[in-house]
Structure 1
Amino acid sequence: MPSSSTVRKGLGLIRHPYFLNALVRHRVAAASEHTEAIRFCAANTLIDAGANKGQFSLAFRKLRPRARIIAFEPLPEAADNYDRLFRRDDEATLNRVALAAREGSAEFHVADRADSSSLLKPGQGQARAFGVRPARTMQVSARRLDDCLDLRGLAQPVLLKVDVQGGELGVFEGCASLELVDFIYVELSYVELYDGQPLFPEVCVYLQRRGFAVRGLYNQVSTTEFGPTQIDVLFKRVNPVGSTLDQP
């Protein structure tokens, strides 16, 4: 039987012609479960790290029709789908790279469920929690966010959404100008699903040191194996730009 959250998401897609059209024409289900967080941030720029097929960008565009979207997705099949979905959107830009702490070629682990692919290898926790396992590896281009984008030129508020399956700290460490971001919305895990991934407490401490505080918790996922397993966390900048606490 589908979970209550799945049923609510399905109803949300059916009720909105904009979402339904994307689902029928492009087979992309908008991430409507994130609309509350998107609405709260009221961002004029979205940096979508781990954009996949465009699920989050699609929900964001519905609520912020004139905002700029800058997306990053290294998996070719997903990036192709994103490109088709936003081809006529002049304010949406797709970068076919993985965001990381260092620039260069990187090994990318493609999972048997593509949206669980990562720069980190899916571990036993991922298999036990969700039945997801590694399928193959490929080489992708890895870039630092600072080298891809000048955050000083972006319209504020800026929302950095991060869904990179364990590679969160790499995204943040590749952004020395993180103090120019107003909100960070990131999927975090309580248990290790990928080999060597940072967990919820470690990422929270890291972002606190860089001037952010938890502003909201959304969409907690529980599994039979682990109980509470993942959650989406919204951080808001609390230290003024230029504070000494802005340095990692």
Structure 2
Amino acid sequence: MQTLYRRLLQLMPRLGVRVTDLAPGTALVSRRGRYSVKPAGKDAWLVSRDGSAGGWTSVPLGESGARLILGKASAADERKLQMAAAEYLGTQHVAAMLDLYGVNCVLDVGANRGQYAKRLRKHGYQGRIVSFEPTEEAFARLSEAAERDPQWQVHHCGLGREDTTAEIHVGWNTMNSLLPASDYGRDRYKRFHTTRTEEIRVRRLDAVLDEALDGIEDPRPFLKMDTQGYDLEVFAGAGERIADFVGLQSEVAVLRLYEGSPPMSEAVATYEDGGFEITGMYPVTREAATGRVVEFDVVMMRSKAVQ
């Protein structure tokens, strides 16, 4: 005897909708002819509109059980695909480290419009985020992004080696920097050809840490830095309080975009001297013509602090 559920599904086509069985107890109900379903591996289907599923390929990711669904355009652009995958995997790795080390406060230095914090939330991090952004336009967007999140604080300042004021190059979108562009940077990015500056407030990390951690019992902070060549200055401003951090993330340069920014080897060695060890490295940008990596996001944790 048919169940009422099955009888209703059989009735659907008469009402002008399409029913596609996916698995026992699971079906796709759509307007007739507008959606197609293509198998994408065991217990997985690709649902696409107007029959556009024909150009998609399902790729297994090793023995993880995960699969990557590629369209023709994405499969053809290796560099773009690699960058998108690196961003996703990097954020996923950070989220896993935050959980493993019991992080309950992320200091987001160089927050721009809050992109990093939003990605952490999407990957499940629910603890406190304290974001620092010095430029007027980006800070306004950051404040708007954080206003409905009670666990997300924002501060209108930059961080550096000393408490001071400074001129920052703006108009470079997500690449605003306290450092001038290098010759290589100007060759790579047209946005560096014109610039204006904005006066900002700069504070030391050790001067703002107590406020950032206020009210957290047994604080276990994580330091994220993306300051366009200025990360070591932020790190220096932590002084002895850097020992409070269980981990960090920094953008390190293989090919320097800014004058005076440290090479990757110097940055990593400095962080290692502070007691941190590499758990992951993910390319941020690559040259299309040569395939060379320009910058990496490096994730480092204090292994002795694991819970």
SS in 2 for 1:197: coil
Measure, in 2, the Cα distance between the counterparts of 1:152 and 1:84: 22
1:45-67 Cα offsets, whole Å, 9 max, x none, are 11100000010000112234531
Deviation at 1:86, TM superposition (A): 1.2
Q: Distance in 2 between matches of 1:32 and 1:227?
A: 20
Residue 149 of structure 1 aligns to a residue whose secondary structure is helix
Q: 1:87, 1:120 → 2: CA distance?
A: 30
Residue identity opposite 1:136 in structure 2: R
Letter in 1 for 2:174: D
Q: TM-score, normalized by length of structure 2?
A: 0.65
Which of 81, 89, 96 is 1:40 aligned to? 96
1:115 and 1:237 map into 2 onto residues whose CA distance is 29
Residue of structure 2 in register with 1:229 after alignment: 294
Displaced runs of 4 or more, over 6 A: 8-11
Which residue of 239, 243, 256 maps to 1:192? Answer: 256
Distance 2:238 2:152 in 1: 21
How big is the shift at 1:4? Answer: 4.8
Question: CA-to-partner distance for each residue in 1:4-46, whole Å, 9 max, x for gaps?
Answer: 56568889xxxxxxxxxxxxxxxxxxx6454222222223211
* Cα drift, residue 159 of structure 1: 1.9
Change in CA separation of 1:40 and 1:92 when aligned onto 2, cut-off 3 Å: same
After superposition, the C-alpha distances for 1:144-165 in whole angstroms (9 at most, x for unaligned) are 0111122765555422111000
**How far has the Cα of 1:99 moved from its partner?**
0.5
What is residue 119 of structure 1 aligned with on the other side?
A: 178
Q: Which one-letter code corresponds to 2:175 in the other structure?
A: S
Letter in 1 for 2:95: R
**Do the aligned residues in 2 keep the contact of 1:217 with 1:233 (CA within 8 Å)?**
yes
Question: In the TM superposition, what is the alpha-carbon distance from 1:213 to its structure 2 partner?
Answer: 1.3
Structure 2: any 5+ residue segments left out of the alignment? Answer: 1-72
Say which of 153, 161, 171 aligns to 2:234: 171
- Aligned residue number for residue 164 of structure 2: 104
**Unaligned ranges ≥5, structure 1:** 12-30, 241-248
Indicate the residue corresponding to 1:211 in structure 2.
Answer: 275
**Whole-angstrom distance in 1 between the partners of 2:141 and 2:198:** 19
The reply on whether 1:161 has 2:221 as its aligned counterpart is no
Distance 1:220 1:52 in 2: 16
Q: Tell me, in whole angstroms, the C-alpha distance in 2 between the residues paired with 1:58 and 1:114.
A: 18
**What is the root-mean-square deviation of aligned Cα atoms in Å?**
2.5
Aligned length: 220
> SS in structure 2 opposite 1:191?
coil
Deviations along 1:194-214, whole A, 9 cap, x unmatched? Answer: 010011100111111111111
User: What is the rounded CA distance, in whole Å, between the counterparts of 1:187 and 1:165 in structure 2?
Assistant: 8
Q: Deviations over 1:63-108 (max 9, x none)?
A: 3453100000001111111111111111111011011001111111
8 Å CA contact 2:159–2:202 kept in 1: the answer is: yes
Q: How does 1:73-88 map to 2 (within 5 A)?
A: 73-88=133-148
Task: Kindly indicate whether the alpha-carbon contact (under 8 Å) linking 1:220 and 1:229 is maintained by their aligned counterparts in 2.
Answer: yes
Highest RCO, 1 vs 2 (Cα 8 Å, sep ≥ 6)? 1
For 1:44-83, list aligned pairs within 5 A.
44-83=104-143
How big is the shift at 1:230?
0.7
Q: Tell me if structure 2 keeps the 8 A contact 1:48–1:162.
A: yes
Q: Is 1:158–1:183's contact at 8 Å kept on the other side of the alignment?
A: yes
Bigger radius of gyration among the two:
2
d(CA) in 2 for partners of 1:78, 1:32? 23
User: Per the alignment, in what secondary structure is the counterpart of residue 38 of structure 1?
Assistant: helix
Which amino acid in structure 1 is aligned with residue 132 of structure 2? F
